[in-house]
């Protein structure tokens, strides 16, 4: 994984959400987590591994969010390929970077913007936000990379206000 990209994501998340961040130890992808047919990794296994790590780690596992950036494609049960997944109102989420490299114009800046969008989306789920029906809101579910490119990394007013009530959204 490109450390410069992870550092840029951390700075972007700090600026966007006001979160403190650090890059932790790498979480190895296990062969048994991979779907045989698609070659994609089952995202729930990465989330469970992060949760196990959180249980043995420093700080309060419920107050410290962990976001894994997998240099792979991901899938979820009953959904197929996904950009990421989160334990709703939990402590852990994952984003797969492989599909973010797809599509036209996926240069370094586009990849960085896509990664920020998906990271904010998954952290929104950790904060308790569900999917939004507004296509311009970061909480709108992305089915295709074009959805992610269109919506960007910002919350709509309704989602932002709901997160402020929970005390988790930067003002």
| Segment 157-166, tens digit of pLDDT | 999 888 876 6
Tell me which of 32, 37, 122, 158 is the catalytic residue.
122
CA distance 34 to 163: 34
* Amino acid 171: pLDDT: 45
* Amino acid 170: pLDDT: 54
Q: Write out pLDDT tens, residues 25-73.
A: 888 999 999 998 899 999 999 999 998 888 776 545 556 789 999 999 9
The interaxial angle of helices 108-126 and 3-17, nearest 10 deg, is: 50
CA distance 84 to 101: 14
CA distance 42 to 3: 23
The domain spans of the chain are 3-165
CB of 150 within 8 A of CB of 136? yes
Active site residue 122: yes
Under 8 Å CB-to-CB from 42, ≥6 apart: which residues?
33, 34, 35, 74, 75, 76, 77
pTM of the model: 0.88
Q: What's the CATH number for 3-165?
A: 3.40.390.10
């Amino acid at each position: 994984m490109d450390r410069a990209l992870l550092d840029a994501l951390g700075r972007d998340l700090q600026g966007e959400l006001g979160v403190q961040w650090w890059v932790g130890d790498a979480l190895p992808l296990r062969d048994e987590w991979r779907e045989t047919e698609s070659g994609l990794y089952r995202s729930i296994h990465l989330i469970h591994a992060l949760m196990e790590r959180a249980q043995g780690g420093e700080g309060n596992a419920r107050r410290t969010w962990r976001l894994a950036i997998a240099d792979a494609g991901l899938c979820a049960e009953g959904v197929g390929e996904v950009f990421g997944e989160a334990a709703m109102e939990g402590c852990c989420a994952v984003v797969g970077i492989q599909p973010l490299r797809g599509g036209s114009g996926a240069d370094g800046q586009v990849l960085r913007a896509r990664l920020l969008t998906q990271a904010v989306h998954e952290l929104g789920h950790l904060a308790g936000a569900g999917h939004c029906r507004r296509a311009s809101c970061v909480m709108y579910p992305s089915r295709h990379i074009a959805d992610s490119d269109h919506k960007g990394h910002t919350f709509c007013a309704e989602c932002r206000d709901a997160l402020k009530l929970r005390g988790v959204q930067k003002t």
